[in-house]
């Protein structure tokens, strides 16, 4: 029986001697089925905590039963979470939820419940006033440090890890739902830009042919949980690794920065958050001009493809045009154009290298 309902997951757990007082379907993700499970009693093999998260993959995505996505994606996610827990990648204030156990036969993971957290997107959006420069710097720095350490680790261990994370289906789906849609969406907004069309085709080709380093694959503020109420201050956890793969590092950077840009533009001014993210990443990873070009193309196309339909603004055409401006100038390698953008110091760090 597919594990897609509250009743089904309770039955699955009971059959394995895991007794609950209730389950709650969690929202936010779209590919998998995820529940918070209240345990009748704590168990050492489940983190000795009152609640856990149970995550299950079917051979389709949760939001569309007609869209095939091999349930083996869960194998990649679990391997990625275990890898990212390595001290070479995670730091005390930024890491991933623990995986307690994994039922590979049924594609069910038992994971840490990050209690009292919200996504970074929701947390900053719901603030009564803009985040302080100190908070912005801390969050931006942690986001950058984590993904830079992941990219550095992926480069250093490429020969060992590339085969393990050869997630071609994840890359193909990302290409189809991102780069391959760019030209049609440009037409829908009345935008003509041969440069942007060429850049989108290039980005898609790089995604599937250049396994530069290990990438999270869906690195954005909705996949980072923040807990600011802990005694340790800000703590971040990165979730939803089902499209992790080897790919160009700039794709993770561009996606995250586009979402930070949306927070800054449509919710609260937080330029310090964006600047800290880019400054710390440049210091930790030492990107090349190729990496920057990929990041800016990803950034601009994200503003075209996702921002108009994600509830940020009613004026999708305007943000799409802003995105295409970035893409076009990156494609032309017109780096002086970026002197008045958030990428200014990022590019300076690269050109000085």
pLDDT tens digits, one per residue of 73-92: 899 999 999 999 999 999 88
The percentage of the chain sitting over the pLDDT mark of 70, rounded to a whole number, equals 95
d(CA 317, CA 308): 7
Three-class secondary structure of residue 332 per DSSP: coil
* φ/ψ bin of 190: left (φ > 0), alpha (ψ from -120 to 50), beta (otherwise): left
**What percentage of the chain reaches a pLDDT higher than 90?**
84
Report, as an integer, the average pLDDT of 156-169: 93
Cα(301)–Cα(1) distance, integer angstroms: 40
- Residues near 113 by beta carbon (within 8 Å), at least 6 away in sequence: 36, 49, 51, 52, 53, 97
What is the model's pLDDT at position 1? 61
pTM of the model: 0.95
- Above 90 in pLDDT, residue 309? yes
Q: Answer yes or no: is pLDDT of 176 > 60.
A: yes
Q: What is the pLDDT of residue 330?
A: 98
Write the pLDDT tens digit of every residue in 3-57. 999 999 999 999 999 999 999 998 755 678 899 999 999 999 999 999 999 999 8
pLDDT bucket at 169, cuts 50 / 70 / 90: confident
How far is 6 from 15, CA to CA, in rounded Å? Answer: 14
CA dihedral 162, 164, 170, 175 (to 10 degrees): 10
Three-class DSSP category at 100: strand
pLDDT at 56: 92
Predicted confidence band at 342 (pLDDT cuts at 50, 70, 90)?
very high
- Which has more pLDDT, 170 or 109? 109
Q: Is the pLDDT of residue 291 over 70?
A: yes
Domain boundaries, the chain: 6-112, 118-352
Give the 3-state secondary structure percentages of the chain, helix then strand then coil, rounded to 5: 50, 15, 30
Given this model, what pLDDT does residue 129 score? 96
CATH assignment of 118-352, among 3.40.50.11260, 3.90.1200.10, 3.40.1130.10, 3.40.50.2300: 3.90.1200.10
Fold for the domain defined by 6-112: Phosphorylase Kinase; domain 1 (3.30.200)
Three-state SS for 228? Answer: strand
User: How much is the average pLDDT of 324-347?
Assistant: 96
44 within 8 A of 56, measured Cβ to Cβ: no
Residue 197 has pLDDT above 90, yes or no: yes
Question: Which sign, positive or negative, has the C-alpha torsion 204, 209, 215, 217?
Answer: positive
Lowest mean pLDDT among 142-146, 179-183, 239-243: 239-243
In angstroms, the CA 195 to CA 331 distance is 6
């Amino acid at each position: 029986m597919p594990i897609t309902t509250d009743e089904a997951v309770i039955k699955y757990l009971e059959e394995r001697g895991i007794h609950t007082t209730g389950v709650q379907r969690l929202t936010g993700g779209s590919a998998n089925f995820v529940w918070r499970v209240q345990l009748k009693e704590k168990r050492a093999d489940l983190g000795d905590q009152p609640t856990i998260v149970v995550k299950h993959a079917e051979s389709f995505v949760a939001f569309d039963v007609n869209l095939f996505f091999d349930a083996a994606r869960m194998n990649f996610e679990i391997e990625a979470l275990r890898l990212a827990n390595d001290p070479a990648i995670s730091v005390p204030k930024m890491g991933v939820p623990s995986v307690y156990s994994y039922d590979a036969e049924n594609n069910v993971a038992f994971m840490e419940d990050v209690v009292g957290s919200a996504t970074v997107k929701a947390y900053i959006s719901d603030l009564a006033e803009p985040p302080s420069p100190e908070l912005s710097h801390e969050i931006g720095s942690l986001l950058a440090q984590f993904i830079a350490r992941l990219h550095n680790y992926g480069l250093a261990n490429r020969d060992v890890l590339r085969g393990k994370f050869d997630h071609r289906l994840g890359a193909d789906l990302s290409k189809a739902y991102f780069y391959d849609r760019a030209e049609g969406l440009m037409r829908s907004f009345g935008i003509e830009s041969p440069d942007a069309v060429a850049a989108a085709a290039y980005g898609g080709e790089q995604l599937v042919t250049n396994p530069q380093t290990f990438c999270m694959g869906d690195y954005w503020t909705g996949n980072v949980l923040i807990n600011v109420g802990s005694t340790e201050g800000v703590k971040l956890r990165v979730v939803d690794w089902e499209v992790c793969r080897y790919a160009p590092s700039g794709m993770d950077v561009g996606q995250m920065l586009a979402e930070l840009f949306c927070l800054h533009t449509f919710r609260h001014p937080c330029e310090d958050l964006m600047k800290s993210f880019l400054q710390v990443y440049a210091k930790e990873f030492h990107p090349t001009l190729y990496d920057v070009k990929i990041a800016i193309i990803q950034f601009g196309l994200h503003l075209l493809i996702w921002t108009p339909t994600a509830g940020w603004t009613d004026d999708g055409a305007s943000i799409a045009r802003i995105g295409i401006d970035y893409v076009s100038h990156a494609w032309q390698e017109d780096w002086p154009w970026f002197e008045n953008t958030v990428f200014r110091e990022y590019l300076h760090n690269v050109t000085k290298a």
